[in-house]
Every structure is written in C-alpha cells, then in structure tokens.
Structure 1
C-alpha cells in the first residue's frame, strides 16, 4: 500500500481511508458514522491504484479500510469507529439517549457487522445498477427475512422514520448499504420496509454519497471481497 494511504493524519485533523464509493459498503458505513458525529474528514481513497487494490484483497478481513485517523488516533473496524466517535462527540446523538434503546441499537448494529454473509454474496453492493427484477437464491432469503424483522421491530417500537426514532443513529449507518441492496435488486418489500429504505435514500449524507458514486470513474473495478 502506498505511503500516502497509511500515513496518520496530523493531530487534530481527520482523515478517512476508504475504498470505492460504488462498491464498498464498509467505506459507506464509516463515512456515514463520521457525518453522524458531525466530523468533517479528508477522504483518502485507495481503490484507484492497482497495487493498493491487491494489497486490500490480500489483507482482508483485517485490512484497515475504512480507517479513521483523528486527533492522533488511528481507528479501524466500523463498530470501533462508531464507539470512538460516540466517545469523542457525546452530544452528537449517535446512539439513543435511553439506555434500553441504546443497548438495542448496539445489538442490531453488531448483528449486521458480523452476519448476513449470504446476502452480501447474493446482492453485492453496486450503486450504479438498478434492476427491475432479480433472482434471489434461497440461501439469502433467511438473511433478508431477519433484516426485515429487525427493521420492523425497531420501526414499530420507536416510531420511525429511522430505526430508533426521528433521528438517524449508528444502526441506520450500519444498515444503509442494505437499504441500497434492497432497492437496487428489487427485493419485494412491504410498505413499512419500503418507506424506511426511501427515508435512508433521502437522508442528506446518503444522498451525497450516492451522487459521488455516480461520478466515480467507470474504470474502477468491483472488488472481489466485500468490505
């Protein structure tokens, strides 16, 4: 990996190392977490360089992307980034104020972080593609059903339009790429799930990322490993 991709940012500054905006779900999650915290970051993209791409694939899953360098700290893994930002910016409301809801939020965020491998394989992240219909193999259906159950429980419990009420939280940042998968691959959805996916699409940071993905060069290759 090039030296510029691994240097830490200067103390007090913020740099987020990301991969492709079109294909990298984990980069999107890290970026949304920074926006939730209100932290402006310098983006350090590594996907365009072939050597960096090979290095990313060789290092997965311990690859340091996304990685946040801020105030002398270097933090990777999306949940670690979320917890770091919540500690640094406690007034940003990244997690619910109520302790029961906060524990619930951490639980559902952890579930998307560690699971749903069949969904990732069946419906790969690609923000430039929208299908009118798409065959979903049977192995991915339990993942889809579990995600819909999580969303339904949260929306029923906390009233929406986001998973934990009127403001987006860490959970919404973690599930945002899944909402795009549902929309991109025409996953059948009931009205409540459809409304949630549309709410995330209309969330300003998400809309900003989507617009940037559409401007990304066409010669960027889809990574063989889902980050």
Structure 2
C-alpha cells in the first residue's frame, strides 16, 4: 500500500506511463515522416524513370533514322498485332508523298513514300488499320548482285530454313512485303533464265523467321 502511494505522489514526468506515451508519440511521428518522405521520393523517382524511358525511346528513334540505311529503317517497322503507329512510321520515313483511304469509314489508310533519301526508284507502301501498321511493302530496290541467281541456288533452300539463310544464299530481294506477319521476298533481277524470252522469278514467304513457301519461275 505504501508503494502505491509513493508512486501516485511522484511527479508526472517521473512516472513510467508518461515516458511510454512520449516514446509512442515519437515513434508514430517518425514513422509518419518516413512514409511521407518515401512517398515523395518514390513519386519523383518514378517520374524520373518515366522521363528517362521517353528520352531513351526518342534517342533510339533518332539513332535509327540517322545511322541506318533506308532498307534497315523499313525492316525496323513492325506490321501486324504489334504494328507501329502512323506517327512512329512518319518519324522514321518522313511525311508520305500520298495517302489513300481504303474503306468508307476511314479506319484503313494506305500511305505511300516515293523517292526517299533521293532514291527516286524506291516506293514504300504501308497500310494502317485503326492507326496501327498492318501491312508494308518496298519496291524498286537497286540490287547489285555479284552473280546471277540460278536454279541451283534456289534448290539450296527448303521450308523451315531461316530468314537469314535466304539472305545468305540469295542476297537482298528486289521487293519486300509484310502482311500479318508473313514476309514475302521477291527476286526479279540478275536471274539466270531458262528461256530468255520469259522473265524469271523467285518468291519466298517467311513466317516466324522460317520459310513457309518457295516458288520459282523460268530459272536455269
């Protein structure tokens, strides 16, 4: 009973309960300040990361446009499910020479580029559906082959071979097209003709980086 009376008669700042309350308040204030500061820091960090990502994307597009050939820029354009937007394509190729509405609703549009980089014989066509590239083609490439392509060259390829194997054996095609993920490579120049009165042709279709169809006409 005496101990209780002594405890009750202690000044308030000497009581254990007082210091427990003070310590609790200190912990709560410190935790609140930390959480608030962390939220502000995280918000600024997220903004900085987003800004850096945008700057990196812009820098990459600029680098592609300035340091690669027209064919490389064309090949970098994705068509299909993950097709590039119209703005992304124009950033790479510049403004098109003409455009054509394919349907009455204006959701499908065909853009045409002629004479890019001073190459007057080259024409690029890209089809957009709901602002997404769904098909593309490039024609008029001036391919300087070191030798004529023959039937023996064509026969080296088979279904299942890779896209790179096609380029290694036949070289770059005269025309590229890409529709819904299927690339069509067409070879029309420097072909060894079985009948000189008829044109020769090689056509290769590639999907998922593999040959799915091969065709030739009048090769010797």
TM-score with structure 1 length normalisation? 0.25
Greater C-alpha Rg: 2
Which one has the bigger helix percentage?
1
TM-score with structure 2 length normalisation? 0.25
Which one has the bigger strand percentage?
2
